[in-house]
Copies of this chain bind each other. A is one copy, B any other.
Amino acid sequence: MKLLYSPFSPFARKVRIAALETGLQDRIEVVPTSTEDPASGLSARNPLNKIPVLETEFGPLYDSPVICEYLDTLHDGPKLFPAWPERLAALRRLALGDGMLDIALAWLGERFRPAERQSASHMALWESKIRCCVDALEQEAAALQADRFSIGHIAIGNALSYLDFRYADLHWREGHPKLAAWHAAFDARPSVAANPPVDDR
């Protein structure tokens, strides 16, 4: 299978971590793909023109949660998408981690605008939402630690890594010692350490 991806995309990073966790990395050929190059053929595969896209025997597949769920059907190891009711927390955490990334990316896009087109109120709202999420995750850190590793853990850990990468000035670990300890263990997993965030600037 071909994975259209960018080394700069945190959503693609989640898929690559999932591929290693499920032992499927050798069945996946990664194809660096730009969302800004019309010749990439990306929009013909995903009309949203987003990466990652996985080319499967059933056609192109997106977005990253769907790719991860599909990969999870292709192996016999511990499942990243558990059965109900454990599935509920895993999917909710997946939505939370990906939702944090959506906010962080919107915020980043705002920062990249010319100063006169930026909206201070939007940026303040996004910062407050990210801080609210980190506060909530500190309350959930013990459960994250106790629960079996799932796609929810990958999404939460990946989102926090992205904060380190793009928003180090938030100092999200301050006041959140349990979450910081959980994330340190996440970062040490071989699947995570093998896929560090990459800077495109």
User: A residues near B, CB below 8 A?
Assistant: 43, 47-50, 56, 58, 61-63, 65-66, 69-70, 73, 84-85, 88-89, 91-92, 94-96, 99-100, 102-103, 106, 109, 113, 116-119, 122, 129, 132-133, 135-137
Give chain B residues whose Cβ lies under 8 Å from the Cβ of A58. Answer: 85, 88-89
The distance in angstroms between the C-alpha atoms of A182 and B133, with both chains bound, is 40
Are A92 and B132 interface neighbours, CB within 8 A? no
Main secondary structure of the interface of A (DSSP, over half): helix
Given A66-B91, A88-B70, A119-B113, CB of A129 within 8 Å of CB of B48: yes
Residue pairs across A and B with Cβ atoms less than 8 A apart, 19 shown, are A47-B96, A47-B133, A47-B137, A48-B96, A48-B103, A50-B99, A56-B88, A58-B85, A58-B89, A61-B92, A62-B95, A63-B99, A69-B91, A73-B84, A102-B102, A113-B119, A116-B117, A117-B118, A117-B119
Given A84-B73, A106-B106, A118-B117, CB of A66 within 8 Å of CB of B92: yes
Given A70-B88, A88-B58, CB of A135 within 8 Å of CB of B47: yes
Give chain B residues whose Cβ lies under 8 Å from the Cβ of A118. Answer: 117
The distance in angstroms between the C-alpha atoms of A58 and B102, with both chains bound, is 25
Give chain B residues whose Cβ lies under 8 Å from the Cβ of A70. Answer: 88
With beta carbons under 8 angstroms apart, the residue of B43, B73, B136 that contacts A132 is B43
Closest chain B residue to A86, Cβ basis: B58
